[in-house]
Amino acid sequence: MKSLKKILWAVGIAGLLVLQACRGGGSSTGGAEVRLINATRNHPSIDLIANGSALVTGVATQQASASVGVSATAYTIQITDTGSQTALATVGPSFAANVNYSLLVYEADGAVKVSFVGQSDAAAAAGHSNLRVYDAAIETGALDVYVTAPNVDLTAAGPPSFSIGGSGNVQVSGPLAFATGTYRIRVTTQGSVSDVRLDIPSILLGEQQVQYLVLTPTAGGALVDGAVLVDGGGYTGYPNTNARVRLVSGVTSGLVAAAVGSNVVQSGAQSPNIGSYVTVPSGSATWAITVNGISSAVPPITLGAGSDNTVLLTGTPAASTATPLLDDSKFALTTSTAALRLLNGLSNSSAGVSLSVDFNLLDDNVLPATSSQYLSVPTSTNMRLEVDSTGSSTPLWLQSGVDIPADGAYTVFVIGDAANPEVTMLRDR
């Protein structure tokens, strides 16, 4: 199998990508054909309303409808929950004659989005299948896609099959030919084979087929959901079953270790400490957290599929308590904005903390063992950041000339001893 990078180009216009679909497709009567794909997580069944009339109904999550015929004309398309009159999304496409369309419905930026997927490719050569990547996971940034034999170690896989640059638009790659057979697909953050954002263990690239690897965003904005769409054929969803989690310890001292189920989150680090994200199975596996070998109090924690999470540890080495926090930075970032929030991990204080950006209050009175929401801020190479506490007359932290690059989500951590806190800003995604 030959592996090489493909140049991708942005094709989204105002959030809507319209591409012709299915080889030789379309109605033989001069109309078009449309099918609806439900790639959402939070809408169990959806309908497609065209010019006020139900065209497709009852499409379940991770399913595609049969194709239905439409006239070659302009439409007002609304996506609704099944039986509802409230539009989740509204678009106004024009359907071309003798073309088939797949309407991909997914969630991003806290809202339902619609894209029109596919392209009229010729059939792949005999003994081969052509694969394209359709990347709607804008929030995730630049990605690499590895298409390999199932048991290949990524560290020995060579260059990625596809490289997708970060963009504010949905992107689609050129086709890449693979010998017909079974493959494993792994999506990583660009340039890091250790940071896997999606792993599809086995897919069949069929004889002379044209297929699309469809990537859509998850709740946390870092991991991605996947699907395989066959040009003129079936649709199979591969929703991500993992979550990302990190341990942040504000305990004033002690050696901290943490695991969820059989997965080590932190093998042992001196507190106060900010751990790195670890990818683990989603769900409600039991946690074990210790400080100097003494078990911490850990409430039941459920990690949602595709989510990013922080487990915040506060208290003393002899009596520490874990608090789960959802790192919900899923909104789309732009080339001129970033996202910023404040986390209070002080262990011996009841005082709230606040964050000011260029003398403007962003987060006010964030109490211990909590965090603020991510808020949008203009990017800057000369930002002034100040953290204050209701228990102190002087700033806990003051930084000038801070460089906040665009298209990133950041947390300002205030952890440890209130009399001598550690304040650090890190990029979350």
What does the DSSP assignment read for 253-276? SSEEEEEETTEEEEEEEESSEEPP
What angle is formed at CA 314 by the lines to CA 383 and CA 425, rounded to 5 degrees? 15
The answer to whether the beta carbons of residues 34 and 114 sit under 8 Å apart is: no
Residue 150: which residues within 8 A CB-CB, separation 6 or more? 182, 183, 184, 201, 202
The CATH fold assigned to 241-327 is Immunoglobulin-like (2.60.40)
Between CA 222 and CA 143 the distance in angstroms is 10
Residue environment code for 83-114, b if the CB has 16+ CB neighbours within 10 A, otherwise e = eeeeebbebebebeebbbbbbbbbbbeeebbb
Same fold, 124-234 and 330-429: yes
- The tokens describing 240, both together, are 């991500």
Pairing label, strands 143-148, 162-164: antiparallel
Task: Single out the residue of 95, 109, 89, 334 nearest to residue 216, CA to CA.
Answer: 109
The answer to whether the beta carbons of residues 278 and 260 sit under 8 Å apart is: no
Q: How big is the chain by its Cα radius of gyration, in Å? A: 24
Domain ranges of the chain: 20-117, 124-234, 241-327, 330-429
What angle is formed at CA 187 by the lines to CA 185 and CA 191, rounded to 5 degrees? 130
pLDDT score recorded for residue 392:
87
What 3-state DSSP class applies to 366? strand
| CATH classification code of 330-429 | 2.60.40
Task: Single out the residue of 259, 310, 311, 306 nearest to residue 282, CA to CA.
Answer: 306
Q: What is the pLDDT along the chain (429 residues), one digit of tens a residue?
A: 444 333 333 333 223 333 334 334 454 456 788 899 999 999 999 999 999 999 999 999 999 999 898 888 888 999 999 999 999 999 988 887 777 788 999 998 779 999 987 556 788 999 999 999 999 998 888 899 999 999 999 999 999 999 998 777 888 999 999 999 999 999 999 999 999 999 999 999 999 999 999 999 998 889 999 999 998 788 999 999 999 999 999 999 999 999 999 999 999 999 999 999 999 999 999 999 999 999 999 999 999 999 999 999 999 999 999 999 999 876 555 668 888 999 999 998 999 999 999 999 999 999 999 999 999 899 889 999 999 998 888 999 999 999 988 778 899 999 999 989 999 999 988
Give the end-to-end CA distance of the chain in Å, rounded to a whole number. 33
pLDDT score recorded for residue 2:
40
Between CA 129 and CA 134 the distance in angstroms is 16
pLDDT score recorded for residue 168:
74
The full DSSP string for 155-203 is: GGS-S-SEEE---SS-EEEPPEEEESEEEEEEEEETT-TTSEEEEEEEE
Pairing label, strands 409-416, 337-346: parallel
Between CA 341 and CA 360 the distance in angstroms is 14
The CATH fold assigned to 20-117 is Immunoglobulin-like (2.60.40)
Q: Which residue has tokens 């609806």?
A: 36
| CATH classification code of 124-234 | 2.60.40
Say which amino acid occupies 1. Answer: M
